[in-house]
Amino acid sequence: MNALELQHIGHPLVLTTREVPEETTDTAVVRLHAAALNHRDYWITQGQYAQIRLPVILGSDGAGEWRGQSVVIYPAFDWGDNPHMPGRAFRVLGMPEDGTFAEYIRVPRNHLFAKPEHLTWEQAAALPLAGLTAYRVLFSRCQLQAGERVLITGIGGGVALMACQMALTAGAEVFVTSGSEEKIQRAVQLGARGGANYRAADWHKQLREQAGGFDVIVDSAGGDAFSLLPTLCNTGARIGIYGGGQGKINGLSPQVIFWKQISIHGSSMGSPQEFEQMLHFVQQHRIVPIVDAVFPLAEGNAALQRLAAAEQFGKIVLAIGSNAAN
């Protein structure tokens, strides 16, 4: 089978040939039709990830066929028995185990779930990691309710967009931030009420004028700007953090947090049960993940370059096998 392999840190992926894996009693070999990129894939190529083992096939998101069934793959291993938090053995598909940037993949059979019928292969591949992360941070951790006002930072990335779509579907009022005016306007076209460019010095004041205050804030950046988020919160608000692209948080005032009774929730991926709930939510409401661009498997390095440039609006997807020619 053809596969994209990371052989050396800081070097391009290599299109190579591997043996098709064999099934066991508990595992399934899925013929993949599409796989989606995540920032973790790029970070791994740059050595910015713990316990990297090479060579490895990257990729956490995949959709394909197993024994005539159209499936999507739960993108992790060993969540553990506690539904509220992952166990010590929890890890994401695509490092250290081989991932989805290949024509076939072997995964546990109980990690296969029916593909939502209304989605194409590319849309289905764009769903697992982003959809699961967004669903958990919104509903399991922040307990979003209809009618609440939500702020989602960094709109344009896969998780942020899925959170926007899910929050709108759940009946929330959504506002966004981005460093791109175009991305803000595209979010408004999806149904967001407004937004602010975080490159502006008064971005938080703009949001205060537009929205008044927020009941839920979903953030993936951290950094110095995070200290302003509690000032935008209503009393009893919840802040969900699923990433930290801007680094450590400085200048956070504990007084604002305790006087407003604000809860801050860390969130990462989700359990198989939450994955199943997320798929049901997507199927029930006919949510369609936004795909920014599709590349054939052989052009995986070009796809990674687009991801690194941070210009995408939605998920970047690899078409695999016969699907690449369609």
User: pLDDT for 107-153, tens place per residue?
Assistant: 999 999 999 999 999 999 999 999 999 999 999 999 999 999 999 99
Number of H helices, E strands in the chain: 9, 18
Range of the domain at 198: 140-266
| Stretch 258-282: mean pLDDT | 97
Report if residue 273 sits inside a domain: no
How far is residue 120's CA from residue 118's CA, in Å, rounded to a whole number?
Answer: 7
Report if residue 134 sits inside a domain: no
Cβ count within 10 A of residue 246: 17
Same domain, 51 and 100: yes
Chosen domain end from 216, 235, 266: 266
The enclosing domain of 186 has a CATH number of 3.90.180.10
What are the residues facing 104 on neighbouring strands? Answer: 31
Question: pLDDT tens-digit profile of 229-269?
Answer: 999 999 999 999 998 878 888 888 899 999 999 999 999 99
Same domain, 174 and 146: yes
The pTM (predicted TM-score) of the whole model is: 0.95
Query: Any alpha helices (H) in 155-259, and if so which ranges?
Result: 158-169, 181-190, 203-211, 254-259
Q: Is the pLDDT of residue 14 over 70?
A: yes
pLDDT band at 94 (very low <50, low <70, confident <90, very high): very high
Task: Look at residue 264 and give its three-state secondary structure.
Answer: strand
CB of 132 closer than 8 Å to CB of 158 = no
Task: Look at residue 251 and give its three-state secondary structure.
Answer: coil
Greatest CA separation for the chain: 60
Q: Is the pLDDT of residue 324 over 80?
A: no
Same domain, 55 and 114: yes
pLDDT score, position 325: 57
| Stretch 188-212: mean pLDDT | 96
DSSP H or E segment with residue 189: helix 181-190
Same domain, 298 and 262: no
Task: Look at residue 42 and give its three-state secondary structure.
Answer: helix
Report if residue 238 sits inside a domain: yes
Same domain, 144 and 262: yes
Report if residue 281 sits inside a domain: no
Same domain, 225 and 197: yes
What are the residues facing 195 on neighbouring strands? Answer: 176
Report if residue 201 sits inside a domain: yes
| Stretch 153-180: mean pLDDT | 96
Two tokens at 141? 């951790």
Two tokens at 228? 């302003």
Chosen domain end from 235, 266, 297: 266
Please provide the average confidence, as pLDDT, over all residues in the chain: 95
Tally the domains of the chain.
Answer: 2
Helices 272-285 and 158-169 pack at an angle, to 10 degrees, of 60
Phi, psi of 321 (to 5 degrees): 65, -140
Report if residue 8 sits inside a domain: yes
- Cβ burial of 277 (10 Å; 0-12, 13-18, 19+) is middle
Same domain, 121 and 233: no
pLDDT score, position 230: 96
Same domain, 98 and 18: yes
Same domain, 74 and 119: yes
Report if residue 276 sits inside a domain: no
What lies within 8 Å, CB to CB, of 145 at 6+ separation is 170, 172, 215
Same domain, 223 and 172: yes
Q: Is the pLDDT of residue 15 over 60?
A: yes
Q: Which of 142, 86, 145 is nearest to 263 (CA)?
A: 142
pLDDT score, position 326: 54
Report if residue 196 sits inside a domain: yes
Same domain, 183 and 262: yes
Task: Look at residue 256 and give its three-state secondary structure.
Answer: helix
| Stretch 11-28: mean pLDDT | 96
| Stretch 70-84: mean pLDDT | 95
Same domain, 152 and 208: yes
